Structure 1
Amino acid sequence: MMYKMVLRIVLIILCVIPSSLVAKELNQFSQIAIQHAGRKKPLTVFAREVLLSLSGKEAIMTVEGEKIGSTDFVLSVWFHPEGWERQPVILVDNPLLRKAIGLDLHKKLYSFEQLKENSLFRDFALRHLHRNVAEGSDLKPEEKEAMAVSNRMKLFEELYSGEIFTVIPDASDPTKKWVTVEKASLYYPQGLSEALIILFDSMKRFYLQGDLKQAQQEASLFSKQLRDYAPRIYPSADALLFEHTYTLLKPWKWSLLCYIIASVVFLLTSGWQKELGYRIGWGLTVFGFLFHVYGFICRIYIAGRPPVSNMYESVVWVSFGVLLFALIFEAIYHSRFFLKAATPFAAVCMLLVESQPLIFDPTIQPLVPVLRNNFWLTTHVLTITLSYAAFALALGLSHIYLWHSVRRSGLEGFQKGVLAKYIYRSLQIGVFLLATGTILGGVWANYSWGRFWDWDPKETWALITLLCYLAVLHGRIAHWWGEFGLAVGSICCFISVLMAWYGVNFVLGKGLHSYGFGSGGLGYVILYVLAELGFVFYCLVKYQLRKKEELNPPPSPIQV
């Protein structure tokens, strides 16, 4: 009954919240499609992506103290760019770069004018960034940041000049690049191009006068005119509204909230009101998982492909896989361990992608050619990343096992044995999926590049990870170590998963898998690895002390 009630509430929210959010936003501007980064998207979505790229935020504060959202920012620059070159909208995130070019170390946002007139920045760029982009992996962090700042300045120049606002399609040729309103006569008859320019000027005038209602009406007429003339090319109103609503709803944030609350509930009720806490935690987890599913459905519909082509999508997918395995196992075994192990990991993953948009790019990008075979993308990439999810579940279970092993009031022997069995089963699933995904990757490599294996860093670390986990499983079967050693090995081996998953893309930055490269977050990963090694070391020391006490119990007090 409780699960049915949770499902009903989720369905109501999924129907009610989107419409209420759309009503609050400049929704008619979402009906204007813009061709950008290889996609046709709503203007409001484009605005959010652009402001995130420029400043790392969805809203900025002007020097006058006014908070401006992404849609208002882009419309303002489009309609009246003068003055925006003096507003702090361009992010300089790396403190080493800020120090090197003489900027305020306590500020991160600067104006285009400040950076353009900064002679130290120009000298730094000329001195350090003359190398080929392909050698970017050899650059220092401040040099990579200088490249990123240069790209942000270029993006701002495109915004300021208006050349980025390609909103006019060619009705006769879908392959042609869209053009700006000022160049509408290239694709349309004189009368129609003049009508479009009149509508645009009217929309612009009403917006600048502060009459948003009338400006939205003009935006609706403007988009309708384009759609009527190029119905096969211009996105439908429903498709644009769907993507706009998905962007506003932010289902991943709802999932994150549910997983955090569920994790807290499990923690607080571990020794009190266990049954009630378990039911509430289960309901919250299902609630967040349904939002997770909703987000994936939206993203697949918008992108037209499985959502695992970049680091952002793979992190979201792995957190989804952890919860999927946990819910299945929980439904089978009713052990209460799986959700306690899975929800914190899922919460951390979702927190990372939501709080670090510059590291985990949330924009939907078209696939590079090698990834455009959806069959191989689905089978190989989904299988590999699902193996990471299984290993992550084993990681969470191992933390629970080790924590209770070193506590004097921990789990009973039977419960610890059951928990160790769950760790073992999770590792088996992970190894099977990783081996299968690696083999499928070889088949795909032969199909795409003409060879099965080339010792590419991604391939090499996938093999290293597989061998690490095989060694842990084999050692358990050969009685080289027991349940405690299995848990320790599960935690230590996950470091190899991090290297295959994150390190190859964000640290090494080399190889044929260049479509997945990125930068940033290394400090967080190093801190996590050190914390894990510290936890394992602490548990090993405590475990050895406990064993010595059991073998050499203290003498009983002499009875007088």
Structure 2
Amino acid sequence: MKFSVRYVFYAALALLVGALLVRHFKPVDYHSDLNLTGFGAIPVQSSGRIMPIDSVARINMVLMAQKDHYTNAEGERREALNWLADLWFDPAKAAEATIFRIDHPDIKGILHAEGDKKKYFSLLDIMPHMQTLQEQFELIAPEAQQRDAYQKGLAKLQNALHIYDSLSGQVVTPPLMPPLNEDFPNPSSIYELVQGLGRAKDHAPADENLAVSVQQMRQALQIYYSQLANQQLIQAFPARNASGAPVQREGDVPSSADVKADSWRSLGGVMLAALEGERLPGSVMQWAVVARAYKNHSVEQFDSQVRIINEQYRDKLGSSGGKVQFEFFLNRLNPFLFSEIVYLLAFIIAALSWVFMPKTLRPAAYILMIVAFLMHTYGLGARIYIQERPPVTSLYSSAIFIGWFVILLCWFIEDRFRYGFASAAGSAIGYATLIIAAHLTKQEGDTMGPMRAVLDSNFWLATHVPTVTIGYSATFLAGFLAIIYLVLARIPGRLDPRSEKALRGMVYGVTGFALLFSFTGTVLGGIWADQSWGRFWGWDPKENGALMIVLWTATMLHARWGRLVGPTGFMQMALVGNIITAWSWFGTNMLGVGLHSYGFMDKAFWNLMYFIASQIILIVLASFIRPRPEHPVRLT
């Protein structure tokens, strides 16, 4: 009977994880006969790097709506790519999409929706009140630290409207004076006009009045396209080779060796060059055909042109083209979401194993943790491959790496002890760090963008940064194992002497590991600082945070060696380590000062305070709830 229950449970878990895998590998349904999958895979330049259009859509949708999808007028889910295609080729339809998130009641009041519970609004909802909003935008304090909740909400809406406006007209010229409810003019006629004006630049008409009119038209178009070029977020036309000479081949796409990020141009830049006499790239007309086919829902024509553009760009990009296609696949797979779900499931099962069915639930939690870790590893490796950088390059990637390394440690610990402690602690941290990473995307936008100058060194990114981050990982793991000890030791019958000793040994060993890597990483950081800024140590908040971790872990070990604290005291000190590490990792970035302020953020303050408060509460409770007299015991 026990045999059958155990294997029925394992089979059910396998089916659940299999269903999750199928869901994540399943192609995205865009609810369209048009080949939007091919459209989303087309490479463009944005945020200083080459990426698929799908990434452009997702990144900017998350910045505007705090999610990568929206609900249409019929209440149906649509993807970010659906909206971006509408914005470029059917802007009137895009204006109906509810993609602007507004939470503050006073801002909703401006839209006459103060009693409405909905959080998402469309451009059509906002446009009638734009004048009032513009007046409020002017009152926003220039410094983020000086803004109240209302002004922060206004700044978020203003930024979202700016993104919306900047994404418009990226591949097809917009109307020169666009009413919202009118279609695009025939772009081909506008391109012919611009090309004609460029050819006639050095050949003024004989008629003086006509010559003046032509010159005025050219100047007006130059002003218009200069403004368009300045506000555009992407460059969709690789119109020049590395030498800067115009490309004259069919389609005007440079060869693979010549296509670099700085050789791509926006539509505004291409049009300005045409007004100066340069021939328009053939891809400009191809995009015009795509726009017309999308608007007319001409499936065959749309699919054909998208395939041509995709093949041309991909072939000419060479190896970079393969990375773009891989990133498009990675967007659809979303490996970190899969790992996040499985980590949560593993934690729940590991926790339940302390209540009943330990021989069944502990192995299940362990296997689930490994399954999630493998997908986590795939996602981490994919980011390294795409970026061609070490794993930690930003706050977002640090969250991904901290969770990953904690699980790696827990794999080895659980493989040795098999008590479920490491599975529970690792899965909890893995889940929490991926949740943190998911929220950071709402602030960082493109998490694989170019490096800030202060970080732009692959050697130090591969040595100092991972080493310090491993120190964070180990300190957090020690703290979470300590939480398990403090909880279970106060529930009668949940910790026998053997498992209690093993758990104390885990915390002790991981703390020593944390000290080693925190100290090494801090020294390496000082050497990097000396090379970059001319000083080894500057009492920068981030440097101070790293030093605090080193000093505290060393204090923990010396307190235990000197028998100044017993097992409970040592565990309480590990929880203080959680507080110090959380402050070093996140808190110092909230100060916005120092040479390490490149990771500035202010939106996580209360979450950090809640975490610190939870650790303090646990420390206090552990002092008052004692299941039995405590005797100092040397940890071995």
TM over 0.5: yes
1:72 aligns with 2:155: no
Superposition CA RMSD, Å:
3.4
User: Hey, what does 1:553 align to over in structure 2?
Assistant: none
- Structure 1 position 182, deviation (Å): 8.6
User: Hey, what does 2:168 align to over in structure 1?
Assistant: 160
CA distance in 2, matches of 1:315, 1:434: 17
DSSP 3-state at the match of 2:473: helix
User: Hey, what does 1:352 align to over in structure 2?
Assistant: 436
User: Hey, what does 2:3 align to over in structure 1?
Assistant: none
User: Hey, what does 2:270 align to over in structure 1?
Assistant: 183
Gaps of 5+ in 2: 1-6, 171-231, 243-259, 632-636
- Structure 1 position 158, deviation (Å): 1.1
Indicate which of 130, 139, 154 corresponds to 1:127: 139
- Structure 1 position 325, deviation (Å): 0.7
Q: What is the TM-score with the length of structure 1 in the denominator?
A: 0.86
Question: What amino acid is aligned across from residue 70 of structure 1 in structure 2?
Answer: A
Indicate which of 523, 538, 558 corresponds to 2:606: 523
CA distance in 2, matches of 1:188, 1:325: 61
User: Hey, what does 1:32 align to over in structure 2?
Assistant: 42
CA distance in 1, matches of 2:467, 2:355: 37
CA distance in 1, matches of 2:77, 2:338: 24
1:302-317 pair list within 5 angstroms: 302-317=386-401
CA distance in 2, matches of 1:96, 1:472: 50
Range with bigger deviation, 512-521 or 322-331: 512-521
- Structure 1 position 264, deviation (Å): 1.6
User: Hey, what does 1:110 align to over in structure 2?
Assistant: 121
DSSP 3-state at the match of 1:300: helix
DSSP 3-state at the match of 2:239: coil
- 1:83–1:244 Cα change, 3 Å: closer
Q: Deviations over 1:256-278 (max 9, x none)?
A: 12211111221222243322222
CA distance in 2, matches of 1:99, 1:533: 40
User: Hey, what does 2:483 align to over in structure 1?
Assistant: 399
1:357-372 pair list within 5 angstroms: 357-359=441-443, 361=445, 363-372=447-456
Specify the structure having the higher radius of gyration (Cα).
2
CA distance in 2, matches of 1:51, 1:335: 44
CA distance in 2, matches of 1:140, 1:473: 44
1:90-489 pair list within 5 angstroms: 90-94=100-104, 104=114, 106-112=117-123, 115=126, 117-119=129-131, 121-129=133-141, 131=142, 135-162=143-170, 163-173=232-242, 174=260, 175-180=262-267, 183=270, 186=273, 193=280, 195-212=282-299, 214-226=301-313, 231=316, 236-354=320-438, 357-359=441-443, 361=445, 363-489=447-573
Q: Deviations over 1:178-204 (max 9, x none)?
A: 122893683899998464333222222
- Structure 1 position 282, deviation (Å): 1.6
- 1:84–1:22 Cα change, 3 Å: closer
Q: Deviations over 1:503-528 (max 9, x none)?
A: 111x3122211221223132222222
- Structure 1 position 54, deviation (Å): 1.5
- 1:463–1:101 Cα change, 3 Å: farther
CA distance in 1, matches of 2:374, 2:63: 29
DSSP 3-state at the match of 2:92: coil
* Percent of residue pairs bearing the same amino acid type: 24
Gaps of 5+ in 1: 551-560
CA distance in 2, matches of 1:430, 1:305: 24
- 1:259, 1:284 within 8 Å by CA — same for their partners in 2? yes
DSSP 3-state at the match of 1:127: coil
CA distance in 1, matches of 2:277, 2:335: 44
- 1:251, 1:295 within 8 Å by CA — same for their partners in 2? yes
- Structure 1 position 63, deviation (Å): 4.4
- 1:142–1:213 Cα change, 3 Å: farther
Range with bigger deviation, 424-433 or 257-266: 257-266
CA distance in 1, matches of 2:379, 2:87: 31
Range with bigger deviation, 190-199 or 418-427: 190-199
Indicate which of 54, 68, 76 corresponds to 1:58: 68
CA distance in 1, matches of 2:334, 2:521: 30
Question: What amino acid is aligned across from residue 610 of structure 2 in structure 1?
Answer: L
CA distance in 2, matches of 1:100, 1:541: 52
Range with bigger deviation, 90-99 or 452-461: 90-99
- Structure 1 position 151, deviation (Å): 2.1
- 1:20–1:64 Cα change, 3 Å: closer
- 1:461, 1:496 within 8 Å by CA — same for their partners in 2? yes
- 1:378–1:101 Cα change, 3 Å: farther
1:494 aligns with 2:578: yes
Range with bigger deviation, 424-433 or 77-86: 77-86
- 1:512–1:264 Cα change, 3 Å: same
User: Hey, what does 2:621 align to over in structure 1?
Assistant: 538
- Structure 1 position 237, deviation (Å): 4.1
CA distance in 2, matches of 1:185, 1:388: 50
1:16-27 pair list within 5 angstroms: 20-21=26-27, 26-27=36-37
CA distance in 2, matches of 1:375, 1:277: 43
Equivalent pairs counted in the alignment come to: 535
User: Hey, what does 1:555 align to over in structure 2?
Assistant: none
- 1:274–1:152 Cα change, 3 Å: same
- 1:171, 1:187 within 8 Å by CA — same for their partners in 2? no
Q: Deviations over 1:533-557 (max 9, x none)?
A: 22222222111x7449x9xxxxxxx
Q: What is the TM-score with the length of structure 2 in the denominator?
A: 0.76
- 1:209–1:90 Cα change, 3 Å: same
- 1:118–1:22 Cα change, 3 Å: closer
DSSP 3-state at the match of 1:279: helix
User: Hey, what does 2:176 align to over in structure 1?
Assistant: none
- 1:101, 1:118 within 8 Å by CA — same for their partners in 2? no
CA distance in 2, matches of 1:185, 1:140: 42
- 1:145–1:111 Cα change, 3 Å: same
- 2:476, 2:577 within 8 Å by CA — same for their partners in 1? no
- 1:77–1:148 Cα change, 3 Å: same
User: Hey, what does 1:512 align to over in structure 2?
Assistant: 595
CA distance in 2, matches of 1:465, 1:95: 42
DSSP 3-state at the match of 1:451: coil
Question: What amino acid is aligned across from residue 168 of structure 1 in structure 2?
Answer: F
Question: What amino acid is aligned across from residue 302 of structure 2 in structure 1?
Answer: A
- 2:350, 2:420 within 8 Å by CA — same for their partners in 1? no
- Structure 1 position 101, deviation (Å): 8.8
CA distance in 2, matches of 1:60, 1:22: 14
Range with bigger deviation, 437-446 or 92-101: 92-101
